[in-house]
Amino acid sequence: MARTLSFEKRPTPAWLASLTSTSVAILLALLASSVLLWIVGVDVVEAFHAMALGAFGDLDSIYGTCVKAIPLAFAGLATGIAFRAKIWNIGQEGQVFAGAMLGYWLSSSVDLPGIAFLPLLVVAGFVGGAALGGLAGVLKTRFRVDEIVSTVMMNYIIVFVLSYLLTSRLWMAPGEYYLQTAQIPETERIPTLLAGTKLTLAFPLAIAAVFAIHILLSRTTFGYELRAFGSNPDAARFKGTDPSRMSVIVLIISGGLAGLGGVSQTFGVDFRISQGFLLGLGSTGIIVGVIAGLRPLAIGVAAILFGGMAQGGLFMQVIADVSSAIVAAMQAIILIFFLCSSVLSRYRLVWKS
Amino acid sequence: MFDIFQEAIVVSMLAASLRIATPLLLASIGELVVQRAGIWNLGIEGTMLMATYVAYVTAISSDSLMLGVLAAIIAGIAMNMVMALAATTFKINQFVTGLGLNLFAAGTTLFLYREALALYGTGNVKTIDPFDNLLIPLLSLLPYVGTILFSQQFLTYFAFLMVPVVWFFLYRTRYGLEIRSLGENPKALDTKGLSVSVRQYCALAFGGAMTGLAGAFLVLALTDRFVPGMTGGRGWLAVVIIIAGNWKPVPITFAVLVFAFLEAFQLQAQGIGIQIPYQVLLALPYVVAIIAMMGFRMRSEQPAHLGIPYHRE
């Protein structure tokens, strides 16, 4: 009798298998990235050593890692809440820009002391991202435009809007050569927690957001409704969930979270907007959300890990003379291996006769 | 005098439209077969980008454009085989896998590009001699039409030739029927003892080859060098085009021509100094894509089983 190898569903979802598969994925991804480094003739051990040192080597690098983790946590949460509801918001990239841009517009049009400005800034960041998310929600529910398509298109459109605001000199300081906005005045920046670092008030805000979304998803009726909607929209409709309303609300929250990521980066780290500063935060957030299994608390941990890679990448660029662009490649490779190995935690290979 | 000038502009704009349409058409027609086979592959952007990079590197190091094209085809197939493994064998969420492939291609090509730049220096970026136009004898001498239709590059002819070929394959052959039923009802195929996964692998290989060609065309015919992110959303536009074309080859071709004309218009408008911010023109295809999705309610031909992994129960 011919025996074939095939997948069979595991009787119980095994958390041990899940943890193992994630670790295996990261190891395999490191291996694959080593190949990339090896191709361009880099000392692989030295490079990874530099990266680890730059990420978690001393107190300063740990602060740096935490700073880098802030926008990733927000964009990761944006992914988590949307994908849990099976709403495929992949516009985090554009929503990060929109949040930062509305924040910048606010900062350039009002003149308030920091205490009064900061709450408004948080609102502006959320509203900026939520506007793009909400627009995708309306397009989805009223006009049947796939949110995948609309959010991706908006990622491109918003960058052209920024480019227009800069080249038309509306947002550029007089005499400025680079395509970037004027600097944000010191009174309107997010205050730092520790002098000499860029660890700002945004860090505890990000932690609060992680716990808030955790509680929202697992402890509230709305969270239950959202998860039910994600696993079976038809059944959820019978129980009284309005699918259109749910889709729009999820996209608003998701977009808003990404927008907060943008504000935290611009007003806490860069103090001005340029296309390069914000590029990639949203898409890295998608990876963070997915490899954390869309679970908010795990997203917090994954954001620190990925923030560490970003911070360590900069150190590696200086020490080992490797372009920090390797970090983006590594993160995507981790995602792909994670997706493949996650199958092994849900299924097992069996010989069938 | 003024009329001759205007005529020349219109002719060159239409010729440019066909040139710009080529990568979009190649990718869309390839992805059409993939989607008909039930796989919603969102990795086209990444597959195309990877193919442009591989085509460029191969062409400059071998000094042969055709080797570049070949390498791009192989790269396209390789990327789509990852998608096939994930979507067909592992039955992983297709959207997320596609995104992963896009990010992988963006990160890897940027890294390799930067490393090469550091090695050779910014001033020494190697360029290629793009493909020459292939003039069709006699026909290319016709006024207007000759310049617009019959003085293009060979991949442009190939792309438009593939439209009837794929149409014939999908609607007039048994294999085409099988591919179409994969997207509608894979179980029917499975119960007849025909392998679902073999067909999905084949569809993705074809889609990968076509997307690879699209990438090769971008770098070996439209420009002369690789620039990070140079696909600039063309892969995503292919996804939009398939929906707007209601999953049918001929309407898809029309949708491609509309987007290509928009881009040609934008290039021309910049040249003759139309008083609109150029960002508006650059953003136009993406805005039109959203509006087109609003207008096209017709989704009668959307495969019923699109994007849903097939589990044998």
Number of structural domains chain A divides into: 1
Is the confidence at residue A254, as pLDDT, over 80? yes
A143 → chain B, closest CA residue: B294
CA distances from B200 to B16, B38, B83 (A): 35, 8, 10
Kindly state whether residue A342 falls inside one of the protein's structural domains: no
Kindly state whether residue A332 falls inside one of the protein's structural domains: no
Residues 46-105 of A with CB under 8 A from B: 83, 88, 90
Backbone angles phi, psi at B137, to 5 degrees: -55, 140
Kindly state whether residue A57 falls inside one of the protein's structural domains: no
The answer to whether the CB of B63 falls within 8 A of the CB of B50 is no
- What is the DSSP secondary structure assignment for residue A172, as one 8-state letter? S
Kindly state whether residue A55 falls inside one of the protein's structural domains: no
DSSP A263-329: HHHIIIIISS--HHHHTTHHHHHHHHHHHTTT-HHHHHHHHHHHHHHHHHHHHHHHHT---TTHHHH
Q: How far is A187 from chain B (nearest CA, A)?
A: 33
More confident residue, B129 or A78: A78
Residue A9 forms contact with B (CB below 8 Å): no
pLDDT band for position A15 (50/70/90)? Answer: low
pLDDT of residue A4: 61
Backbone angles phi, psi at A105, to 5 degrees: -60, -45
CB contact under 8 A, A156 and B101: no
Residues 6+ apart with CB under 8 A from A177: none
Q: How far is A215 from chain B (nearest CA, A)?
A: 25
- Span B105-128, pLDDT tens digits: 999 999 999 888 887 777 777 888
Kindly state whether residue A140 falls inside one of the protein's structural domains: yes
pLDDT of residue A6: 63
CA distance A41 to B112: 11
CA distances from B150 to A130, B125, B210 (A): 49, 33, 22
- What is the DSSP secondary structure assignment for residue B222, as one 8-state letter? I
pLDDT band for position A349 (50/70/90)? Answer: low
Kindly state whether residue A14 falls inside one of the protein's structural domains: no
The answer to whether the CB of A278 falls within 8 A of the CB of A266 is yes
Backbone angles phi, psi at A325, to 5 degrees: -65, -20
What domain range is A134 assigned to? Answer: 66-293
Kindly state whether residue A15 falls inside one of the protein's structural domains: no
3-state helix, strand and coil shares in percent for chain B, rounded to the nearest 5: 75, 0, 25
Kindly state whether residue A184 falls inside one of the protein's structural domains: yes
Residues 6+ apart with CB under 8 A from A316: A47, A50, A51, A54, A322, A324, A326
CA distances from B109 to B71, B96, B311 (A): 15, 20, 35
B88 → chain A, closest CA residue: A340
- Span A280-292, pLDDT tens digits: 999 999 999 998 9
Can you list the residues of chain B whose pLDDT is less than 70? 1-5, 271, 273-274, 296-298, 313
Q: What is the ipTM of this complex?
A: 0.91
Q: How far is B72 from chain A (nearest CA, A)?
A: 19
Residue B296 forms contact with A (CB below 8 Å): no
DSSP B35-69: HHTT-----HHHHHHHHHHHHHHHHHHH--HHHHH
CA distance A282 to A339: 19
- Span A19-50, pLDDT tens digits: 777 788 888 889 999 999 998 888 899 999 99
